[in-house]
Structure 1
């Protein structure tokens, strides 16, 4: 266990990854990868296709078990924990395609994301209390969805569905959010609003965002990590990594939107 101020930082969402590696049939998808992400940091991970970005998120959330190394979220060792326990520990994952209940309203999607609304007994005794309404309205406001609460989620634009899914993670009380290409397919205005939303969330949560769009990356990132062939190639501000000759050579020099 971590003591003193470290424990406070840990609970706030520090993530320490050391010497992480995973092999698939002899292929090293990630090798000797170490990252240190501070509480309430918005870290963006970039790199060419096949660099190990999604595999990294898979290992943090327990979908893929590392072959070597350690993933510590606060004072918890995540490697070896089942996915549902990692979710309960405060790790939330959003995939590229939005995953919302399209036949339910925005408000209903948010309500069922609240802890203690699942399972037979919880469902039987679930009530829309004033506290439930307050939390749903608060998160809907944060996610720019207040005026859409009574609409079916299927009627939302692609960008709004992405915001709804992020809002659902906030209501699950995720302290670490893993977002895979959150602005793919969004309009320019939706991207601007998403940048604002993610920066607001990072005032009290830790975020790891995988993204290809360097303009968007520069607008949100406090720090950028560049992966290449399963290793950290470069790290720094968006401006620093964009100037790094190695990054230009393996990533930015090509059509990195592919």
Structure 2
């Protein structure tokens, strides 16, 4: 299983992905699911992937191969992040067309999803979620972040914390908490965690950090967040119980009713 998340805020963008693949409890490996494409001063693009590893790797390899042909539109010369999303979707469809039917005949899931975001000179930062079929949607002020993979455990903290004006340090902290919640509930998600931060209008990577197993900050967040949740829970008011048997919704069947 995989967990990847990215957000587009007023100050910039944050991307994070785990590095664990799971083909059963006795076959767990580590593969980087984050790819950075950068031409400083002009464009910076980040992709995160989940799903069938061969399909996602094949898609990025084809994207880079086509990027060496300057006679056609490619990831290095296109004029918008929308064009980048189209290029990745096209590559994904081509790989699916080449391998998909053969794999499906052998009951192998060929689904692969991508988050792609970044900024190309002439437009603001943009973030897209690309589905396995090659179509995509774009983040907006009402949808500040995208997740792929094991999404359910890490979503609540992001819903509560992230707003367009959230600072990059605070947003980064919320994403690390999101990963901690996911890793606690699903052992198939785990470090290393690749973290990438892009500051708006800089057209370069501000932070690229890999948080390994046992990383001091990961351990600190795990401890402080866990203790903080326990403390907040104990301070919650107890629920007032109905004790007089006059509930509006009687659920107990008796001989008299």
- Answer whether TM exceeds 0.5 for this pair: no
Q: Could you tell me the TM-score, scaled by structure 2's length?
A: 0.29
**Could you say which structure has the higher helix fraction?**
1
